[in-house]
Structure 1
């Protein structure tokens, strides 16, 4: 009788142990099920976000490509339709000036026309050059940036200290993005920051490059939620995004601004 009781007790203990093990296994199974289900859901959400981001990037790329084509068209029109006709006016004016039979007043008027024509031609050339710099396509980014700095500093009190390295394996389209970013940075510093001393470094990095630009301007409040970024800054951010890069901004009132751009433009 006592043996039967002991056997029955052992069976109960065994049943309890098996029951506990079963519950533990079921619990672990449920935990793993929810874990992997949640992981799958998160993975799907990330895929959706990546698809959306890639779609937005393609739209952005297309928009900028359209802008560049329009810039190129306008630059070509300036050269073909306007500059060529102004050259004709200039040549004709010079022919008339060689005529000794015209009066002094007429010569003064012709010289005035020639002066206006020459200045207009120079302005058209400068605008066309800014819209689509031919030197970028012919000689590359380094030379194009150095010429850009020269244009801003010649005959002005503005100083630009720079160290520009040649970036290997950078596609022409990405070189144009870097050039446009630099243009915007300079324009923003001079127009809004009221700076007169700019510094820029462009360094080769593994699979990309680093661009550091700073000025001695009046700066701005980065954390001000009421102030929306200007078109220039939005353009910079858009181009940095296309370059698979990151933009870091440091600025405060009266201390100037620092823009750091790390790009992996040809990583893949």
Structure 2
């Protein structure tokens, strides 16, 4: 009888051991599967992030080419045409050509400013404040709008990819301000602290009803927020009809 009980105990212990092994193996397989799923999700998220960065770079490049086209036609082209007219008027004359020289010098200055935009890697070589300064200077130079840029706090280094996203979000806002808002003034501020960069862009345009705004219409708040989410930035847009619109971006350093 004792030997039979001993045999039952051995069998029971063996079964318990087997069950424990099975449970451990099952838990291990679940762990491996979850780990693989997390790695796959992380890789997918990284691919989506890289694709978004690439698309943003293309959009910036396309916008830059449009800007170059406008400047060549509306600004530099007019200056060179003026120089040509002045030279024609002075043909065979002994009058002072300083006016022509000044016009040509201005054209050269405009071309040098424009050359900074032609570089496809411009944002990789300059920091966000300088990139925005070039945009603001261009708006004022072409009389698109009266624009100002102010920087407060000690300037901090920001990841290149984050700068690209931030610049594109602001570029979208600027484009809307100039093309649709009928604003006469644009104010951009960058406020650096140890923890974050707060960017505000404010216009005095016609404003809009945010409750009626959709991702495919108007300023595209959802599109901006989607871009901001890629780099963990908070995006807020406030607008009052006939008083203007303010974009606020908070990027944690």
TM range (shorter): 0.5 to 0.7
The alignment's TM-score, normalised by the length of structure 2, stands at 0.56
Q: 2:47 is matched with which residue: 42, 55, 67? A: 55
Residue 205 of structure 2 corresponds to residue 220 of structure 1: no
Contact 1:71 1:132 in 2 (8 A): no
The alignment's TM-score, normalised by the length of structure 1, stands at 0.53
- Write the distance in 1 (CA, Å) between the matches of 2:88 and 2:54: 50
* TM alignment of 1:1-268, pairs within 5 A: 8-9=1-2, 12=5, 14-78=6-70, 83-94=75-86, 132=117, 140-145=127-132, 163=152, 165-168=154-157, 170-171=159-160, 174-185=162-173, 200-203=189-192, 205=194, 209-213=196-200, 220-221=210-211, 227-228=214-215, 230=217, 232-233=220-221, 236-237=224-225, 239-240=227-228, 245-249=231-235, 259-262=248-251
Q: Show structure 2 runs of 5+ residues with no match.
A: 92-102
Contact 2:149 2:187 in 1 (8 A): yes
- Displacement of 1:152 after TM fit? 7.5
Q: Secondary structure at the match of 2:32?
A: helix
- Displacement of 1:90 after TM fit? 1.0
Q: Show structure 1 runs of 5+ residues with no match.
A: 1-7, 100-117
* Bigger CA radius of gyration: 1
Contact 1:212 1:259 in 2 (8 A): yes
Contact 1:142 1:164 in 2 (8 A): no
Alignment length, in residue pairs?
227
Structure 1 residues 144, 63: closer, same or farther in 2, change over 3 A? closer
- Displacement of 1:91 after TM fit? 2.1
- Write the distance in 1 (CA, Å) between the matches of 2:71 and 2:148: 30
- Write the distance in 2 (CA, Å) between the matches of 1:149 and 1:58: 28
